[in-house]
Structure 1
């Protein structure tokens, strides 16, 4: 088993930020499809979901594998628009802003959710919890001038 600290160091590198957005989602989608929604490769280190959102401009369904932070008591999930520390917000964040009703595949179950962008104190509290959960998010934020978007997903 690969150590968590080693993976955290690797995921903080610029090389990882360049390659990961092209490799990890494609692998996750393929494995998720082959296992009928039961396995996400990236979830072996971090919990993960497959987000199905509506395209902000196209109106088409978009499936995106994402790491998440489940909230205590099954209240919901926090999604982080880090884009691996790249300069632009990831497309899925634009989709959720335009169409907050979405669904996730979580541990093989499809769950309808509503997304809400976190702001101010609520965002600050979630960000603090996220940094304790996965410290590389601090490196991603340090690389960019934009504020990384955080969304809370709750069951509909």
Structure 2
């Protein structure tokens, strides 16, 4: 991925509104769905999923493309927000409403989102950095990046 941009992250190159439905994310979502999970360009070969959460205040569905890491029977996503000192909107939304919808490949299913146990955090973060070294730059002293496990409901 170029410019250390992860889907769902905010950077000066691709600013997104708080609900994650900016033009950049809309294009990635459309390509993901048309390609049954495949996205090209800077995301070629990147394991992406679409996470749909319910807005904490609006009650409306919000879909965000995210990098994921398979871990047994669950998928782990990273609330890095591109290294921002604030949590991404999708994370705040799923904390309020942990019942989510996951799209991975051509499959779509309901899931439950839960923060990863702190005892697993470093192991999973290290695996993600090994898989995609640019994630090392998303860690900040301002906050611990929440890792979220998505388990099929």
How does the TM-score come out when normalised to structure 2? 0.80
Q: Name the structure 2 match of 1:17.
A: 11
The Cα of 1:20 is off from its aligned counterpart by 3.5
- What SS does structure 2 have at the residue aligned with 1:154? strand
CA deviation string 1:9-53 (max 9, x = no partner): x417xxx932135464232023235x1744334652310111111
Considering only CA atoms, is the larger Rg found in Structure 1 or Structure 2?
1
User: Is the CA contact (8 Å cut-off) linking 1:123 and 1:150 kept in structure 2?
Assistant: yes
Query: Once superposed, which parts of structure 1, at least 4 consecutive aligned residues long, lie more than 4 Å away?
Result: none
Does 1:40 find its partner at 2:34? no
> Which structure has greater helix proportion?
1
How does the TM-score come out when normalised to structure 1? 0.79
RMSD between aligned alpha carbons?
A: 2.3
Query: Structure 2: which 5+ residue stretches go unaligned?
Result: 17-22
User: Is the CA contact (8 Å cut-off) linking 1:43 and 1:67 kept in structure 2?
Assistant: no
Query: Structure 1: which 5+ residue stretches go unaligned?
Result: 1-6
| Number of aligned positions between the proteins | 142
